[in-house]
């Protein structure tokens, strides 16, 4: 479940906790500047992001990334000779797709310098060299017609001007090249998932304060406060949720052809968000390998159920939406 976000409760308005080198002035400005907030927040998270979201570069996440890509873009035309990822994070999508044989030469960008470095470090551990640049997805620092494929995972909901980002992706693609953006939150799916997450946080943090369980199950208050501060800043960096049809129209306005959207995770998201939130709300030493196995297998089974429900459930109710298109 690499992208089943948890959301700790947002109570008062605590100060965000960015990377340690950020000045007090930058932190204050971030509340009114989504781009700056994204840089500070993701720089701060760069070294712990993989653990936080259960990201790995093994068979589990290789299969997850490959299946998410194939669901929207199909299983042919591999490997893509030159690919670019926008908003690479720690390299989850690029590095797992490369291991799956979908990508050949890979380059990455992110607004956060910390994330670009984290991707390059993860690539080196896997025996790859990946070129990375700090760049805004709305202004990509590459010539026209450079890449065969542009990808992104859980990124465009952070970008202020999504249509401009699509225009840039199309500009740097060769004619006939494809973009594939996966794992974006839908409007209704996100609303349900966040409410479930808030309810889980409220119940778990109060239940673990009961005297008979506090010593073994409660997470230290300092860590709970840090999670709440992170959630507060997430409210600044998460700019959009999407209706699948509207997202497709945005891509077409930008100039894309053969645009297609696919939605995934209904009951899997209803399960995954509370599970991930609970993991942040209680003492992690109490949740061992058995819990991890339960969480992962539960998510797999519900994902299979969600695929069976596709003909019966409106697409916009699913949590994740992916979109692909071709440069004419």
- Could you tell me which residues are beta bridge partners of residue 210? none
> Reading across the β-sheet that carries 147-153, which strands appear in turn?
131-134, 103-110, 80-85, 147-153, 173-185, 320-326, 257-264
Predicted TM-score (pTM) of the model is 0.88
Query: Residue 258 and residue 293: Cα distance in Å, rounded?
Result: 39
Residue 34, Cβ neighbours under 10 Å: how many? 16
Q: Where are the domains of the chain?
A: 24-326
Residue count (the chain): 328
How many angstroms separate the CA atoms of 90 and 123, rounded?
A: 9
Give me the tens of pLDDT residue by residue for the chain, a chain 328 residues long: 343 333 332 222 223 333 445 555 666 666 667 777 777 767 766 667 657 667 899 999 999 999 999 999 999 999 999 999 999 999 999 999 999 999 999 999 999 999 999 999 999 999 999 999 999 999 999 999 999 999 999 999 999 999 999 999 999 999 999 999 999 999 999 999 999 999 999 999 999 999 999 999 999 988 887 777 666 667 678 899 999 999 999 999 999 999 999 999 999 999 999 999 999 899 988 998 899 899 999 999 999 999 999 999 999 999 999 999 999 9
CATH architecture of 24-326: 3-Layer(aba) Sandwich (3.40)
**Would strands 257-264 and 320-326 be described as parallel, antiparallel, or unpaired?**
antiparallel
Helices of type H across 135-282:
162-172, 187-207, 211-217, 221-237, 244-253, 267-281
Name the token pair of 277.
Answer: 């939130």
Distance of alpha carbon 281 from alpha carbon 325, whole angstroms:
40
């Amino acid at each position: 479940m690499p992208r089943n976000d948890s959301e700790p409760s947002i109570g008062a308005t605590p100060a965000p906790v960015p990377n340690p080198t950020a000045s007090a002035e930058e932190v204050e400005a971030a509340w009114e500047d989504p781009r700056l907030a994204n840089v500070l927040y993701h720089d701060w998270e760069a070294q712990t992001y993989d653990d936080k979201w259960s990201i790995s570069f093994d068979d589990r996440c290789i299969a997850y990334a490959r299946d998410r890509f194939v669901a929207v873009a199909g299983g042919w035309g591999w490997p893509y000779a030159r690919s670019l990822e926008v908003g690479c994070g720690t390299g989850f999508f690029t590095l797992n797709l490369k291991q799956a044989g979908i990508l050949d030469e890979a380059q990455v960008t992110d607004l956060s310098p910390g994330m670009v470095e984290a991707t390059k470090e993860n690539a080196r551990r896997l025996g790859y060299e990946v070129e990375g640049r700090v760049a805004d997805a709305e202004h990509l620092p590459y010539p026209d017609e450079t890449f065969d494929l542009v990808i992104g995972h859980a990124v465009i909901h952070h970008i202020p001007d999504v249509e401009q980002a699509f225009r840039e992706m199309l500009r740097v693609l060769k004619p006939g090249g494809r973009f594939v953006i996966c794992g974006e939150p839908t409007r209704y799916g996100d609303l349900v998932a966040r409410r479930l997450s808030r309810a889980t946080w409220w119940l778990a943090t109060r239940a673990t304060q009961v005297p008979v369980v506090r010593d073994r199950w409660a997470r230290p208050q300092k860590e709970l406060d840090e999670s709440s501060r992170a959630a507060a800043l997430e409210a600044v960096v998460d700019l959009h949720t999407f209706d699948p049809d509207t997202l497709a129209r945005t891509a077409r306005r930008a100039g894309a052809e053969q645009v297609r959207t696919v939605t995934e995770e209904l009951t899997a998201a209803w399960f995954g968000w509370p599970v991930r939130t609970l993991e942040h709300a209680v003492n992690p030493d109490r949740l061992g390998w058995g819990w991890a196995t339960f969480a992962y297998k539960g998510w797999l089974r519900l994902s299979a159920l969600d695929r069976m429900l596709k003909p019966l459930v409106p697409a916009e109710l699913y949590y994740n939406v992916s979109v692909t298109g071709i440069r004419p």
